[in-house]
Structure formats: structure tokens, C-alpha cells
Chains A and B, each alone.
Chain A
Amino acid sequence: MIQTNNLTFQYQGQPLISFPDFKVKGSEALLICGESGCGKTTLLHLLAGLRQSLSGEIKIGEDKTSAFQASKMDQFRGENIGIVYQNSYFIESLSVLDNLLISPYSADRERAMIIAERLNISDILLRKPNRLSVGQQQRATIARAVMNSPKLLLADEPTSALDNKNCKQVINLLLEEANSNNAALVIVTHDDRLRSEISACIDLNSYIN
């Protein structure tokens, strides 16, 4: 479960952004839509604790993460949050399997195997990430994001680079994984195709300006 309260943020020399309050329960999904530059990614990074908000409150489960120290937040993120970025990031020198096990809070090989099976990447676990197709990379990224059985699953434009078929596949995978981990799923996107899949939606455009 994730809940926000009066979140604001300000870049140096730029106008203050205040974000709408929202609440997502476990196994539920929320779309945050809006044009580029409206602060979608900023909001996602605030939720992930990669940035500190100017004011307001974020609550994940029972923890008020907006009050956490930086290093405490790193640990909390490792234990409770899964993130799927727009681009796939891997440690190039490690195999896909080791990339799944990369987090200090999810070094469980058995779980990696189960998740890989579910996401249909079992046969590529020993390859290096740069040998994967874009679709495989996307699935490996999702697999890594749920390795720690997260309470919160965040996705930043997960489908913008994908064709319709892959787009539908990825969004289904995200929903399934959020469901099987009982995680709150928050997707930040400007991809209108997702609106037909997820009904709950906040349009940031209407809050900014």
C-alpha cells in the first residue's frame, strides 16, 4: 500500500510542483499520466526515494518513507520497492541470473528461478544482458523488480518503446507480478494505450499550471 499527502517538489530556480494525493492498495494499479515535463518522472523518483520532496508525506505500508535518512531509504528501497525504468539497466559484466540477484536484499536463487520461469526467461539466465532482445530485457527488468517481493512496484514509461503486441504483454506481466506479490503498482506514462488496461488514472497535466 502506498499513500501520499500534500507532496511538493521544486527544482532550483523553477516553479513549485505540487502533486495530487493518492492511495494505492496492494494488488491495485494506478496510472499517472501527463505530457513530457509535467513532473511524472520526478513523482516516481520521489516515491522511490531517489529524491527528497520539499514537503509532504509518503507512506509505504506502515513506514513514513519521506522522513527517512538517505541510507535508510536505500535500504528500504532495496527491501520493499521494485522499479522498472523506461530503459533497461543491467550490469553488463554479470549474467542475467546475477543481475536478478544483484540486490543485497534478494539473493535468493530459488526465487530467481521461479520468477524467471513465470516470465519465460529461464533459458537466457546465463547469458550476458547485451545478448538479449529488447523484449527479453524488459522481462528481465520486471523479474529483477519483483525479486524482493516488493510492497510497491514502480514503472516509468515501461511501454513507450514497444509495439502494440509487446506493450500489452508487458502491462499484463506488470499487473500479474503486482498481483502475485500483493504489491501496489504505480505506472507513470504518457502512453494512452495503457488507459484501456488500467482504469485508475491521475492526469498530472490538470494539476500543474
Chain B
Amino acid sequence: MYRFEFIYQLIYTEMLWKIAWKNIIHKPLNTSLCVCLLIFGVAIISLLLLIQHQLEQKFERDLQNIDVVIGAKGSPLQLVLSAIYHLDAPTGNIKLEEARKIMKNPYVKEAIPLAFGDSYMGFRILGTTEDYLNKYNAKFLSGSIFSKSMEAIIGSDVALRSGGQIGSTFMGTHGDSKGGHIHENHPYTVVGILKKTNTVLDQLVLTNIESVWQVHSQENAHQSQLDTIHASSLDFDHDHKHTHDHEHTDHIITADSMEITAILLQYKSKMSALNMPRIINEQTNMQAVLPALEINRLFYMLGIGATTLKFIAGGIMLMAGFSVFFVLYGRLRERKYELALMRSVGYQPRHLFSLLVLEGVILAALGYVIGWILSRIAIHFINQQAENNHNLQFGKEWIPGEEFLLILTFLIGIISALIPAWQAMRLDVSEIISEK
């Protein structure tokens, strides 16, 4: 007997699904409004979750353990965005001479100088040292670190886009924009290709600082001075080596008159990381910024916007819930004969209840699936819009937190269907059939 019960249940369910589904597509105009509302609610929230999650992840990953960023005076946020994330133009340049004083400070654990060069296919060419690679745990897919000027390492995205290989050469384009002036006399040679790190490194072309100087200063007619510059002339070592090679003194002075763009600092203690910036800001014409603080502020500001949007999307979801309710409840009147018929061919009240809830669930599922897809399509277009900015590309994967949206959507479908379902369950079949 129990076995039969079970089979009946299965048959019930299958036919109920069919009736529920056919009912929804039978009069699409009635149901399309509430599905549309659900779609937009889901799409907006999904998109927000996706962007917020990926931005936070990206910003956190790229920050590594950089305590302080030093650069030219200007907007602190701009400095952070340009020096760490390469999302913005730099605030200006700083004198290497002044920068070196800070880099040699005994409280400094690690200091990485950055010199912004040109761009290649929209990817920034960044002059730096090997420390920068180590900071992001870079591994070589092939090749090795640059050993002399005009040698370059390319990040994985750059390699993918440009098809660059070891030994191939390319020219930098002046500035960050495409179509700028091309430095034709100074080809870079690719000596290394990095594995994907999922950090800002993937979208950078790295070279030594001298290369950046060489390309630019020659343009600025400092050719004679710079011909003498080579890698060993620079001392970025914070250990303050007094055993420095004196025959390079002239070159160091030459280099000291040169400029770099920013320094990424890691201090030995958090205390000095908090104190140093104040001193630097007061006593030099450079600025020191705590990037974590700036990023927190940025997220706080973005968060206000995101919260507003979430409220709007929540409102849309609420309206969607009401519209599911109205569609199911409103059609109850015209469907009561169908429901009475179902009772007279053997369905029990609880089956009618499930039928209506099932319809709510199907509407919610439609809304969720299409909304989710729509959010991914939106990401695709956002990526296309930001095509020039390689650092702002979003993935389309499932994001933690989306399961709550899924549950929320289904809850909306179920809860909106509860009252109509209750009404359907309590229909007096005999009365409905007698009244006609």
C-alpha cells in the first residue's frame, strides 16, 4: 500500500509540474510583468555582488603588505590608485635624491622604487626592481629577470594580448593612452614572461628604472648624461652600504637628479608605518599615504552607492513579490473552475496548495535564472566598455553570497504564493460547480 502511495505521489507531482508550467506560459502577459521585475531585481543585486566582491578581492590582493606609498603631492587616493593599482595617472614625480633618504631610513624593511614609463598596447611599462616581482610572488613562465636596460618582462595578460615571446621587441607608446607618440628609437626586448598571478602584475610590462629614464631623458635632450647610466649605478639598497663603489659617484649624482614616480614601503613595525607619513608630509615636498586607509575610504564611499542600489533592487524584488501574489491571487477567480475540476478528478486540497506554490517557485526560478544570466551579460558589456583599462576586467563566475540571493528569490516566490495557495486549498468545489 505504501508503495502505491509513493507512486501516486510521483504521478501527482509530475502532472502538477506540467499544469503549473502550462498555466504560466498559457497567458504570458499576466506572468511576464512579475518575471520581469524579478529578473531586474536579481540582475541588479547579482551585478552589485559580483562587482563588489571582485573589486574587494582585487584591491586586497594587490595591496599585499604595502604599508606606505610615497609620491608627489596631490590627491592621496590618486597616488594609491596609480602607484599600487595602476588605475589612475600618477600625481607627478619625485626626486630620486629625496626618495633615497626615505628608503634608507632604518625603520624601513623594504622599499620598492617605481618609475612610470610609457605604455605598450595600453599596458603600463613600469620601471622597478626585482623586489617588486618578489612582492607579488611572481614566477616565470619562461625567461628570467631583466639584467640590463631595455630588457622587459611581460605579465601574463600582456603576453596573451600581444603574443609577445622571449626575444621579441616592441616600442613603448608615450603616456598611457593608445595612439600616443611612439618611441621608435628605443625598442624593448622581452626577456621574461610571468605566470598568471591574478594581481596587477598580469597587466604590467616591467623593466628596470634606467630604461624608463633612458627612453625619456633622451627625448629631453639629456642624452650625454644618460649614456653613462647603467644598472649598477643605482643604489636602491636600504641597508645603506657604505662600501659603495666610488667610481660611480658621478653617475649616482647624475641619477640623483633624476626622478622616479613613487615608492612602495614596508616598515619594520606598524608603529613607524603610522608615524613616518606625518613626518614626510610635513618635512618634504613629497606625500606619504597609508594605502589601506585610502582604500577603506574608497570602499566606504562606493559602499554608500552600492547600498543605495541594493535598496532600489530590494524594492524591485519586493514589488516582484507583490506582483507574483497579484498574478496568482487575481487569476484564482478565473481558475476556480479548473481547480474545482482538479478536485473532482481526485486531487486533494494539499495538491492544489502545492500547485500554486509550485507556480510561485517556477516564476522565481525563471526570474533568478534569467536575471543571473542578464547580470553576466551586463558584466560582459562593462568589460567591453573598460577594454582599455586592463586592470578593470571582471570575471563572470559564481560569487559567494549569491546563494543568499538564490534563496531570497525562491522565498519571495513561495511566500507570495502562500495566500493564493491557501485560498485554492479552501475552495468549496460543490459550491463552485453549482453556481454556474
Contact = CB atoms under 8 A, between A and B. Distances in A.
Nearest to A99: B341
B15 A78 contact: no
Contacts of B349: 70-71, 74
A103 B434 contact: no
B242 interface: no
B348 A77 contact: no
Interface stretch (A43-51, A114-122, A164-172): A43-51
A60 to B, nearest CB: 14
B35 to A, nearest CB: 16
A94 B22 contact: yes
A75 B338 contact: no
A181 B345 CA distance: 17
Interface in B4-61: 8, 11-12, 15, 18-19, 22-23, 25-27
Contacts of A50: 343-344, 429-430, 433
B171 interface: no
Chain A interface: which size bin?
Answer: 20 to 34
B345 A102 contact: yes
Interface string B335-351: 00110111111111111
A90 B345 CA distance: 11
Interface in B128-154: none
Contacts of B341: 89-91, 102
A50 B345 CA distance: 11
Interface residues of B, number: 30
Interface stretch (A13-21, A25-33, A79-87, A193-201): A79-87
B436 interface: yes
Interface in B159-197: none
A107 B338 CA distance: 18
A106 B344 CA distance: 13
B253 to A, nearest CB: 88
Nearest to B8: A104
B436 A87 contact: yes
A91 to B, nearest CB: 5
B337 A89 contact: yes
A101 B434 contact: no
Q: Which of A70, A87, A91 has the most CB of B within 10 A?
A: A91
A101 B338 CA distance: 14
Given A45-B434, A92-B26, A94-B19, A75 B11 contact: no
B18 A98 contact: yes
5 contacts: A74-B349, A89-B340, A94-B18, A104-B8, A107-B15
Interface of A: 41-42, 45, 48, 50-51, 70-71, 74-75, 77-79, 83, 85-87, 89-94, 98, 101-107, 144, 148, 156
9 closest A-B pairs by beta carbon, nearest first, are A78-B346, A93-B26, A103-B345, A93-B22, A89-B341, A50-B430, A45-B430, A74-B348, A71-B348
